[in-house]
């Protein structure tokens, strides 16, 4: 950031203009509106301020009495923002800052068919104790529960979708969850959320889930687990293991090609979490990937396509939640605290295809 002092000009013989001093400029990118910046200038002895946002045309020049202004760029690029603290119109000091404007470009999504990574049906030292291969044309209700509605406070995350059974189908050996833009029960979007609570619950082992992700701003798919005491203990006291999450769009730390693996728990009355992520070369929607955790009495490790990217030690007493059976949850959320809302770049419907879920435990 550079400060330039404009030479003062004599208005009358023997009279000098007192220039403002201590000029500072703060530039903040808006997290909700692409291209929008909020600027704040402060200085001593300024009568008013002006801003030049580095774009040709009069519309980008703004005068301000209180030193605040907002401007929305229409094109990506690097721009020099100039703030001036004025004594008079032509008597001022100025400071500049450089801002990089980027716009979210929806990924190029290919039709993957069944391409992508696969894992075997057996491992040395492990026994396959449960697997869901999604054969036939309907879900086995002996394994799965449908959750419906909007939950409490948008399922705890201010999500925008209404979950309904109709958005989950089984065909060609895969479970497909579809997020749609449609108005149901006051919600502008629908999707599906399925659990194995009370039916299939597991403590420790290797868990492989082969799936193809959806994509786009505001789209939030998840393959995850909650402790079996969720109904009585509540969250986060039951513990949560996120095997895979993807937050589409341009949210901080997110994107259509980033997989997140995380755990959540209660730590002496304080919500706690630990996670990490891995950035892949292409959007997760472009192929099937296998999302894996290997979980034992000592740790939980996360993998994508057999490449480890996260691990946590669960031996401390504060992480006792992770030494009990857990059940599966699979869903696509739309909107919410983490991804933000869909926008004009988001296309519907969005689908997540799950090829298999396999649970192996040590012999």
Instruction: Centre a 10 Å sphere on the Cβ of residue 67 and count the other Cβ atoms it contains.
Output: 21
CA triplet 71, 254, 147: central angle to 5 degrees?
115
Nearest to 218 by CA among 32, 37, 346, 33: 346
Cis amide bond preceding 134, omega within 30: no
Q: Of the listed 91, 132, 240, 321, which one is catalytic?
A: 240
Report the sign of the C-alpha dihedral through residues 204, 208, 214, 215, in that order.
Answer: positive
- Beta carbons within 10 angstroms of residue 218's beta carbon: 24
Structure-token pair, residue 268: 């002496």
Residues with Cβ within 8 Å of residue 209, at least 6 apart in sequence? 223, 243, 244, 290, 291, 292, 354, 356, 357, 358
Q: Which residues contact 21 (CB under 8 A, 6 or more apart)?
A: 43, 44, 45, 93
Tell me the backbone φ, ψ of residue 360, rounded to 5 degrees. Answer: -115, 140
Q: Is 240 a catalytic residue?
A: yes
Asked if 154 contacts 142 with a C-beta cutoff of 8 angstroms, the reply is: no
Active-site annotation holds for 245: yes
Q: Which two tokens stand for residue 216?
A: 């786009």
Angstrom distance (rounded) from CA 219 to CA 246: 8
For residue 42, list its beta bridge partners: 24
Q: Which of 33, 27, 5 is CA-nearest to residue 79?
A: 27
Closest CA to 330 of 242, 254, 251: 242
Which residues make Cβ contacts (< 8 Å) with residue 7, sequence separation at least 6? none
Catalytic residue among 201, 245, 297, 321: 245
CB neighbour list of residue 322: distance below 8 Å, 6 or more residues apart = 239, 241, 263, 265, 295, 300, 314
Which residues are designated catalytic?
240, 245
């Amino acid at each position: 950031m550079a400060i330039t002092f404009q030479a003062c000009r004599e208005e009358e013989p023997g009279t000098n203009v007192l220039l403002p001093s201590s000029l500072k400029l703060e530039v903040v990118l808006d997290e909700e509106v692409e291209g929008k910046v909020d600027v704040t200038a402060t200085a001593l002895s300024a009568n008013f301020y002006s801003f030049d946002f580095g774009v040709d045309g009069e519309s980008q020049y703004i005068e301000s009495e209180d030193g605040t202004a907002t401007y929305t760029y229409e094109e990506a690029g690097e721009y020099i923002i100039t703030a001036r603290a004025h004594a008079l119109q032509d008597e001022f000091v100025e400071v500049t800052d450089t801002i990089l404007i980027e716009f979210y470009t929806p990924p190029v999504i290919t039709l993957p068919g069944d391409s992508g990574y696969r894992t075997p049906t057996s491992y040395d030292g492990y026994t396959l104790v449960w697997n869901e291969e999604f054969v036939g044309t309907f879900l086995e209700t002996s394994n799965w529960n449908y959750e419906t509605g909007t939950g409490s406070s948008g399922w705890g995350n201010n999500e925008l979708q209404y979950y309904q059974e109709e958005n989950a189908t089984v065909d060609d050996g895969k479970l497909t969850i579809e997020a749609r833009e449609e108005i149901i029960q006051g919600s502008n979007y629908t999707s599906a959320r399925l659990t194995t609570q009370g039916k299939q619950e597991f403590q420790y082992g290797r868990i492989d889930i082969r799936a193809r992700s959806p994509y786009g701003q505001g789209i939030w798919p998840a393959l995850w687990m909650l402790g079996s005491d969720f109904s009585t203990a509540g969250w986060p006291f039951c513990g949560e293991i996120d095997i895979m999450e993807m937050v589409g769009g341009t949210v901080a730390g997110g994107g259509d090609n980033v997989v997140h693996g995380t755990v959540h728990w209660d730590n002496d009355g304080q919500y706690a979490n630990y996670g990490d992520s891995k950035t892949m070369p292409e959007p997760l929607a472009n192929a099937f990937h296998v999302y894996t955790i290997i979980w034992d009495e000592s740790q939980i490790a996360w993998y994508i396509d057999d490449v480890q990217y996260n691990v946590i030690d669960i031996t401390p007493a504060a992480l006792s939640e992770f030494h009990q059976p857990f059940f599966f949850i699979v869903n696509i959320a739309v909107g919410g605290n983490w991804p933000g809302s869909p926008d004009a770049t988001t296309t519907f419907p969005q689908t997540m295809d799950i090829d298999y879920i396999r649970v192996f435990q040590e012999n």
